[in-house]
Amino acid sequence: MVSTGSTAKRLAELGVKVTEVSEVTGFPECLDGRVKTLDPHIHAGILADMTNENHAAQLEKFGIKPFDLVVVNLYPFADTVRSGADEAATIEKIDIGGPSMVRGAAKNNATVAIITDPNDYALVAARIENGEGFSLEERRWLAGKAFAHTASYDATINEWTAKHWPKPATVDHPTAEDETEVNEAKFPAAFTRTWDRAHVLRYGENPHQQAALYLDPLNQNGFAHAEQLGGKPMSYNNYVDADAAWRAVWDFAPQIAVAVVKHNNPCGLAVGATVAEAHKKAHACDPMSAYGGVIAANSKVTMEMAESVRPIFTEVIVAPDYDADALELLQTKKKNLRILKVTEPPKSKTQFRQIDGGLLVQSTDLIDAPGDNPDAWKLVSGEPADEQTIRDLVFAWRAIRCVKSNAILIAHDQATVGIGMGQVNRVDSANLSVERANTLADGANRTQGAVAASDAFFPFADGAEILINAGVKAIVQPGGSIRDEEVFEAARKAGVTMYVTGTRHFFH
C-alpha cells in the first residue's frame, strides 16, 4: 500500500503497513504539498495495462510496480468555498494530482479499480476478504462513477471561477451586428454547473414518473435546503408548489405577506399587519382552491395563524420560523402537514428550463425592472390614484409576477380577491378573475371598487372592458400593444384610472 503524508500516517496508526509516496518516487513532497504524486513512478503504475506485454516489460525495466487499486479523496473544494474562506485558501483546495490519478485509474479499468466514494469502502473490504478482487463489470462501474466525480469537481471549480474571475474589460471580442452581447459570467460558452443527488423522491409529477432532488454543492442555502419539522416526506409537486409560494411572499418584503398556492399558481396572496391577518386575507380570496394547497409566510408563524391554518387541509407550510406553541399545535394536530423552515429569502438569480435536447437559461424574473417602480408609471386614463388605490395597485403589480400567463389579478386592501391564470387568451383570464372574485357563498361583489393588474398588455380593449364592467376602479398594465389607444380610450370613457408600466411579467 502506497500513500501520501497525512493519510500514510493515519494508516500506520491503524497498524497498516504503508509505503510513503516519496519512497516510490525518490523525491520528497514539495511546494507545500502541491507536488507529490505527479511522477512517472506513480502514474505509470496506474496507467500500465498489465494485459499488454509491452507495458509489463517497460514497468519491469524501470523498476515500477503496477497498482491494482487506487483510492482518492479529492481536496474539499466545495466545502472550502462554503466555509467562506478567502480566495488564496480556496485556490489551494483545487486538487491537481488527485484528479489525474482518478482519471488514469478509471481509464485503465481493464486492470485497475478506482474508488472515489467512501460508500464503496465496505465493498473494497469485502473483495479483499474473499480474495476475489473486482470483476471487470465492477471496475467499469467504478470507473464511470470516478469520471462523474471528476467532472462534477471540475464543474464546481468552473462555477466558482466564472463568478470570481470574469472576462476583463481589456479583452474585446467583436460582436456581430445580429448577435446579442454575451455576459459570460451568466452565460459561459460551456455551461458546466453540477448538482449532487440529495433525495430520491417517491415519484415525480405523476406516480409513473421517477424523480430526485439535487443540490448545488456551492450553495447550502435556499428552499431546497429547507429543514422539515414535521409531516410526511416532501413530494415532487410539494417542492414545486412550495418553492413558488416561497418566492411569491418575498416579492413583498419587508411587508408581512402570506401566499396560498395550488398547482404552481397562487389562489390567494395578501399583505397584513400580522402574519395571521395576512393568512386570513389570502385564504379568503379562494377558499375552495386553497383546499390541499401550500401556504408560505415571510414572517414567523404565530399561534394565531396556526389556529387559522388548523381546520384547513394543507399539504405544506413554509416559513422562516415558528413560535414554539404554534409549531407544537401544527405537529400534534396536523400530523401529515409538511412543516418547513427556511431561514433565508430566495437568492437564485438564474432560472433553467429543459427542452428536448437542450437547456434554456435566463436571469430570474424579479421585481427590479424600471417599470416596477410606481414613480415611473405613466397615467394614460382617469384621475391620478389616491394613496390607498396606489398601494393596492402596487400590491397587484407585485402579485401578478407569480401568476401563470395569461394573468389577470383583482385586488382590494392589499389582498387578492380574484385571479385568472394560465389561459390562452387574456379575455378568458379577465372573465375568470371576475368570476372567482364574485362566487363566494356570501354573494359579495368583490370587484366593485377594486383594482386590477395584467401581466402583459391588452391586445384589444375587450379584456380591459370586462374588468371595467365588473366595477374595477383602476388598472395597471405594461402597455405596448398596437391597439393601446383603443384600450386607453375604453378606460377614459368609463372614467377608470389606468397606468402603464412599460414592463411585463410573463410566467409561462
The catalytic residues are 107, 263
Nearest to 261 by CA among 235, 242, 286: 242
Nearest to 488 by CA among 381, 376, 379, 371: 381
Q: For 451-472, give the secondary structure using H, E and C.
A: EEEECCCCCCHHHHHHHHHCCC
Q: What angle do CA 44, 50, 51 make, to 5 degrees?
A: 145
Total Cβ atoms within 10 A of residue 42: 23
The CA distances from residue 195 to 149, 212, 217, 381, 420, in Å, are 11, 11, 6, 50, 36
Q: Is 304 left (phi over 0), alpha (psi -120 to 50) or beta?
A: alpha
Residues pairing with 270 in the sheet: 258, 415
The CA distances from residue 223 to 61, 166, 265, 348, in Å, are 58, 28, 17, 10
The CA distances from residue 416 to 74, 280, 389, 425, 435, in Å, are 52, 11, 14, 21, 13
Transcribe 78-141 into DSSP letters.
Answer: HHHHHTT--HHHHHHT--SHHHHHHHHHHHTTTT-EEE--GGGHHHHHHHHHHT----HHHHHH
For cell 494508516, what's the residue?
11
What are phi and psi for residue 178, nearest 5 degrees?
A: -95, 15
Report residue 123 as a C-alpha cell: 465493498
Q: Is 372 left (phi over 0), alpha (psi -120 to 50) or beta?
A: alpha
Angle of helix 461-469 relative to helix 484-494, nearest 10 degrees, comes to 20
The answer to whether 402 and 248 have CB atoms below 8 angstroms apart is yes
